[in-house]
Amino acid sequence: MAKELELEERIIRRNKIPILPFDPEWKANFQEHMTKDMKKIVQELTDKVAEEKQAIHELKICKKEKKYLMEKILQWSDEANTNNNDQALIQLEAAKEEILKINDNIDALQFRLEKLPKEIEQLNFRLLKETIRLAYEDIRQGSERTKTLTEEILELRKRLTEKWDEKIHVENRVQGLYSYLHNILGHEETDKLDKLFL
């Protein structure tokens, strides 16, 4: 049974936790090991961040366009008032209409930009919780595997020590037998028997 993870949302701000999918350390530890839920959240989070960047870009363009039109309105207003230019009045009215549309667009973008950071923070928080679950599951499994591997290594060391002792015992026996035969039979006889048996 999965344990319920209790974590305060403000931990993201308090600990200055970055947007996880863009953090190199998070990527190194989790990108290849994500759960299905994590992949879904990462996709949503990536989309929201892209949407935020796009909204910021569009807002900048709208403000630039509005500034340009405001400058033109001043020119056309001066032209209409000073020279009684009807064409300037038409352009002035068209620019005012365009500014109204731009203002509506700016309002919509600013409203979206007020909401997106909270949505991004909430998704990042959900991903953090999934990350913590995965990390602790891997830590638990890794600890169990480490314990098993340590036991296996100790058993292998014991067997290696036993085999090493057996090797030394066998080598000593071989050396002792060979020395004995060499001592009682002599060098020449032992060389003949070496060729015959070895």
Give the domains, in start order, of the chain with CATH numbers: 36-184 (1.20.120)
pLDDT at residue 196 is higher than 90: no
pLDDT at residue 101 is higher than 90: yes
- Give the distance from CA 4 to its chain's centroid: 23
- Kindly state the tokens that stand for 59: 């807002």
33 touches 140 (CB < 8 A): no
Q: Which percentage of the chain shows pLDDT scores above 90?
A: 74
pLDDT at residue 2 is higher than 70: no
State the average pLDDT over residues 121-135.
Answer: 93
Instruction: Please report the pLDDT score of residue 15 as a whole number.
Output: 79
CA distance readout (Å), 12 to 7, 20, 103, 156, 193: 10, 10, 34, 47, 83
> Per residue in 28-79, pLDDT tens?
999 999 999 999 999 999 999 999 999 999 999 999 999 999 999 999 888 8
**Cα–Cα dist 23/164, whole Å:** 50
Q: Which percentage of the chain shows pLDDT scores above 70?
A: 95
Instruction: Please report the pLDDT score of residue 4 as a whole number.
Output: 64
The pTM of this model reads 0.71
DSSP the chain: -PPPPP--TTHHHHTT---GGG-HHHHHHHGGG--HHHHHHHHHHHHHHHHHHHHHHHHHHHHHHHHHHHHHHHHHHHHHHHH--HHHHHHHHHHHHHHHHHHHHHHHHHHHHHHHHHHHHHHHHHHHHHHHHHHHHHHHHHHHHHHHHHHHHHHHHHHHHHHHHHHHHHHHHHHHHHHHHHHHH-HHHHHHHHHHH-
Average pLDDT, the chain: 92
Name the pLDDT band for 1 (thresholds 50, 70, 90).
very low
> Per residue in 17-27, pLDDT tens?
899 999 999 99
pLDDT at residue 12 is higher than 80: no
> Per residue in 144-166, pLDDT tens?
999 999 999 999 999 999 999 99
**Cα–Cα dist 195/198, whole Å:** 6
